[in-house]
Amino acid sequence: MLPLSIAWRFLMASKAQTILIALGIAVGVSVQIFIGGIITGLREDLVETTIGNSSHITVSAQARNELLEDDQSLYEFLKTFDDQIRVVNRSLVFSGNILTDQSDPVVLRGFDFADANQMYQFDERLMAGRLPSANQEIALGKDLVDALGISINDEVEVLFTFEIPPKRETFTLVGVFDFRVSQINQTWLITTIETAQTVLGVNQVSAFEMQLKDVFLADQIAERLQTELGDSYRVTEWKSANQELLSGLEGQNISGIMIQVFVIISVVLGIASVLAITVVQKSKQLGILKAMGIQDAQARRIFLYQGALLGLIGGVLGILLGLGLSESFSAFALNPDGSPILELVITPSFIALSASLAIMAALFASLVPARRSAKLSVIEVIRNG
Amino acid sequence: MASVLRLSAIKKVYGEKVKTQVLHGIDLSFEMGSFNAIIGQSGSGKSTLMNIMGTLDYPTEGHIEVYGVRADQMDKKALAKLRNEKIGFIFQHHYLLPEFTAFENILMPYKIRHGKITEEARKYAAELIELVGLTKVKHNKATDMSGGQMQRVAIARSLINQPSLILADEPTGALDSDTTEQVYDLLRKINKTYKTTFIIITHDKKIAEKADRMIEIKDGNIVLDVVIQ
Ligand SMILES: Nc1ncnc2c1ncn2[C@@H]1O[C@H](COP(=O)(O)OP(=O)(O)O)[C@@H](O)[C@H]1O
Ligand SMILES: [Mg+2]
C-alpha cells in the first residue's frame, strides 16, 4: 500500500506531466478503439453486402440442371446437422421469358417464405403489395415492373422453355420488391414453392440453401456435410467462390494488427521515456526513503504502480475518447440519405482488450525505471545532496 | 553501561583504480543515552564515518555492531529494517519529501515500518510537532517552509519510530546561529526526555563543547576523545 500511495503522490505532485503522459496513452487507446471499430465494421459490412442475402452452404444434385426430391427428412436432417445452421431454405429455380415487346429473360424462384424471409428478407425488400401466398401469385423487382408498366393485381404472362412447345403461364402480381441490385430487380420472379412446382410439374427442388451464424465456418461444415450426404449430392459454400474477398479481409486484418502494434509501441516508448526521467527526478526522494528503511522491492513497486496508474487513467480516458470519436464519426460521416457511411463495430471485449493492453504496455514500460529505482544506492544520493 | 554502537578497526577506501583511504582503522563505542559530538575539519572523513555507522555505506574493512549485532554482515533487506526501526537520521540538507506535508513527512518512517498509520501514531506525531514548535505549519508542503522549519521537521521525523540512536550529520550546517542554538537545545531536550543516544557531527566547537563527549577526527584518525564534565 505504501508504494501505491507514494506512486500516487508522485504522480499528483507533477500534475502537468502526469496529464500529458495519460493523454498520450489515451490518444493511443482511442486510436486503437476507433481503428478497431472501423476495421471490424468494414469487415462485417463487406461480408454482409456480399453474402448477407445469399446462401452460405448450398446442397444440390450432383449433376448440373438436375433437381432434388423435395424430401422432408433431408430438410429436417440439414436443420439439425449443426448448431451453426441458422436457416434451411428450399428453392426451386428455373428460367423463362416475360412477354414484352422484346421478351426479357427472367428467373422464376419458388420459396417457402417462412424460411426464405430469414435469408433474403423479402418482407423488408417489399416496396408495395405483399408476398405471394396463393397459387399463381408472384412478386417482381421494381425495375421489371417499371419496364412492363404494370401495377399490383395486374396479370403477368410468362413463357417457359423447359418443354416444347413452350409453356405459357399467367400470374397475378401481388408485390414489388427492391433489392438495390439491378440484376435481381430486372430478372427475379418470386413465387411460392408450390406454384413453382406446379408450373414445372414436379415435386422437386433445385437446392437446399443454408445460412450460418458464423459465416466463416462455412467450409468446415460444408466438408462434413458432403461426407455425410455422399456423392449423389453437391455441397457448395460461399468461401470457395469468394477467395478474393477473403484475402482482402485477411489483408485488412493484418494491417489492422500492424496499426495496433505500432500504437502500442509508441505508447510504451512514451511512458518508458517519461518514467525514466521521473526516476532521475525522484532519485533524491528514493534515496531518502531508502535511508529511512524502505525496501528495494518497495522502491521498485513505486514505479510499477506509477506505470499501472498511468495506464489505468490513460486507458479510461482513451476509452471515453475512442467512443466519443466513434460516436462523432457515426454522427457526421453520413451518406446522402442520412445513414452512416459505416456502422462501427466496437464490442465490450475489444474495449477491455484495448484497455488491458494499455495497462500492460504501461507496466512493461515501467519495468526498466522500476529496476533502476530498486538499484539506486542511498549513499550516492546522501553524499551528493 | 551497554553500548548502542561499536566500531572496530573501521577502514574505508574510496575508488577502484586511484584508491583514497579516508578512514584508517577507527575504534569507537557509544553508550546508551549518551550525547556525543564528532568534530573535525572538512574532508577529514566525518560523513564517511557517519554513513558507515548508519549502515548507509559499507566499510572496506572492520566490524560494526548495532545493538550487539554485526551490521557489516547483514543483507540490504535486513539493513533497511534495522535503519527503519533502530536508527533515526538527521542530515545536513534535511532531505524532506517535497511531495508530502510536514506532518506526512514525520509519519513516513512509521508508515514504512507498519504499512499504515494508527490514531496513536498520529497523536505521537502531533506531540513531536508540538515539541519542535511547528504545529502551525504542520500541513504545509515541505517546500513551503523555511530552512530552520524543515530541519525541525527532519528532527521530528527521526524520532517517530522511537529509535534509541539518532545520527545527525551537521544538522545545523545550513542554519543561522540563533536557529542553530535552538535546534541544539531541542536535541538536548529530546536526549533528556527520551534517553535517546545522539551522535552529532559538527564543525562548530562551541556546540561540541555542550555534549557529554567530544571526538575529533583528523585525516581519518581519531586525534581526540574526551568526556566533558
Ligand atoms: N565517493 C567518494 N569517492 C572518492 N572520495 C570520496 C568519496 N566521498 C568522499 N570522498 C573523500 O573522502 C574524504 C572525506 O570526505 P567526508 O567523509 O565527506 O568528509 P567530511 O564529512 O569530514 O567533510 C574527502 O577527501 C572526500 O573528498
Ligand atoms: Mg560531511
Give the chain A residue whose CA is nearest to the CA of B82: A293
Q: What would the pLDDT profile of A214-235 be if each residue is shown by its tens digit?
A: 989 999 999 999 999 999 999 9
Domain end among A153, A184, A205: A205
Residue A222 lies in a domain: no
Q: Is residue A225 part of a domain?
A: no
pLDDT score for A101: 67
The tally of domains found in chain A comes to 2
- Ligand 2 mean position to A6 CA, how many Å? 29
Contact assignment for A288 to B98 by CB distance below 8 Å: no
Its domain, for residue A296, covers 2-49+245-383
A79 and A34 part of one domain: no
Ligand nearest to the backbone CA of B171: 2
Q: Which pLDDT score is estimated for A203?
A: 93
> How many Å apart are CA A153 and CA A174, to the nearest integer?
6
Q: Ligand nearest A383 Cα, by number?
A: 1
Give pLDDT tens digits for A151-208.
999 999 999 988 888 899 999 999 999 988 888 899 999 999 999 999 999 999 999 9
Query: Does A123 lie in the same domain as A201?
Result: yes
Give which of B75, B95, B159 to mutate to test A binding, by max A Cβ within 10 Å. Answer: B95
> Does A20 share its domain with A106?
no
Please check the confidence at residue B1 and state whether its pLDDT lies above 60: no
Give the ligand 1 atom nearest the CA of B220. Answer: 14
Q: Are residues A199 and A292 in the same domain?
A: no
User: Is the CB of residue B42 below 6 angstroms from any atom belonging to ligand 1?
Assistant: yes
Residue A223 lies in a domain: no
Domain B34-58+79-227, CATH:
3.40.50.300
Answer yes or no: do A151 and A264 share one domain.
no
Domain's final residue, options A190, A205, A220: A205
- Which residues does chain B have within 8 Å of residue A296's beta carbon, measured at their own beta carbons? 76-77, 80
- Name the residue of B12, B26, B39, B47 whose CB sits within 8 Å of the most ligand 1 atoms, as the mutation to test its pocket: B47
Domain assignment present for residue A233? The answer is: no
How many whole angstroms from A284 Cα to the centroid of ligand 1?
Answer: 19
A311, A375: one domain: yes
Q: Does residue A192 share a domain with residue A130? A: yes
Q: CA-CA distance, B57 to A291, in Å (whole number)?
A: 10
Instruction: Decide: pTM greater than 0.95.
Output: no
Q: What is the pLDDT of residues A250-276, one digit of tens each?
A: 888 888 888 888 888 887 887 788 878
Whether complex ipTM tops 0.95: no
A108 and A138 share a domain? yes
Q: Does the beta carbon of B220 lie inside 6 Å of ligand 1?
A: no
Q: How does pLDDT run across B170-180, given as a tens digit for each residue?
A: 888 777 788 78
CA of B109 vs chain A CAs: smallest distance (Å): 6
Task: Among A293, A379, A383, select the one facing B112 at the smallest CB separation.
Answer: A293
Contact A292 B83 (CB under 8 A): yes
Q: Does the pLDDT at position B167 exceed 80?
A: yes
Q: A345 CA distance to ligand 1 centroid (A)? A: 66
Per-residue confidence (pLDDT) for residue B125, from 0 to 100: 94
pLDDT (tens digit per residue) in B70-80: 998 899 899 99
Higher pLDDT, A267 or A213: A213
Compute the average pLDDT of residues B195-212.
88
Instruction: Give the distance (Å) from ligand 1 centre to CA of residue A174.
Output: 104
Helix (H, G, I), strand (E, B) or coil at A204: strand
Are A30 and A127 contained in the same domain? no
- The answer for A 289-328 residues in CB contact with B (under 8 A) is 289-296, 298
Measured on CA atoms in the order A265, A267, A270, A275, is the torsion positive or negative? Answer: negative
> C-alpha B65: how far from its chain's center?
16
Question: Nearest ligand to the C-alpha of residue B52?
Answer: 1
Min Cα separation B74/chain A (Å): 14
Nearest CA in chain B to A298: B112
Based on the domain organization, do A20 and A87 belong to the same domain? no
Check residues A357 and A115 and name the one with the higher pLDDT: A115
Domain edge (last residue) among A176, A205, A234: A205
Asked if residue A83 is part of any domain, the answer here is yes
Q: Do A385 and B113 touch (CB under 8 A)?
A: no
Q: Is B97 on the interface with A (CB under 8 A)?
A: yes
pLDDT, tens only, A301-335: 998 999 899 889 999 999 999 999 998 988 888 88
Average pLDDT over residues B150-157: 90
Three-state SS across chain A? CHHHHHHHHHHHHCHHHHHHHHHHHHHHHHHHHHHHHHHHHHHHHHHHHHHCCCCCEEEEECCCCCCEECCHHHHHHHHCCCCCEEEEEEEEEEEEEECCCCCEEEEEEEECHHHHHHHHCHHHHEEEECCCCCCCEEEEEHHHHHHHCCCCCCEEEEEECCCCCCEEEEEEEEEEECCCCHHHHHHEEEEEHHHHHHHHCCCEECEEEEEECCHHHHHHHHHHHHHHHCCCEEEEEHHHHCHHHHHHHHHHHHHHHHHHHHHHHHHHHHHHHHHHHHHHHCHHHHHHHHHCCCCHHHHHHHHHHHHHHHHHHHHHHHHHHHHHHHHHHHHHCECCCCCECCCCCCCHHHHHHHHHHHHHHHHHHCHHHHHHHHHCCHHHHHHHC
Ligand 1 atom at minimal distance to the Cα of residue B170 = 21
Residues A154 and A126 placed together within one structural domain of the fold? yes
A129 domain-assigned: yes
Q: Do A189 and A303 share a domain, yes or no?
A: no
Is B69 or A385 the better-scoring residue by pLDDT?
B69
The closest-lying atom of ligand 1 relative to the alpha carbon of residue B41 is: 22
Question: Would you tell me which residues 189-228 of chain B have a C-beta closer than 8 angstroms to some C-beta of chain A?
Answer: none
Q: Does B84 touch chain A (CB under 8 A)?
A: yes
Q: Please state the atom number of ligand 1 nearest to the C-alpha of residue B45.
A: 17
Atom of ligand 1 nearest to the CA of A379: 1
Q: pLDDT tens-digit profile of A320-375? A: 999 999 989 888 888 888 787 788 888 888 888 888 888 888 888 888 888 988 88
State in Å: Cα A280 to ligand 2 middle. Answer: 24
Beta strand residue intervals within A194-241, DSSP E: 204-205, 207-212, 233-237
Helix (H) / strand (E) element for A302: namely helix A296-332
B229 lines ligand 1 (CB under 6 A): no
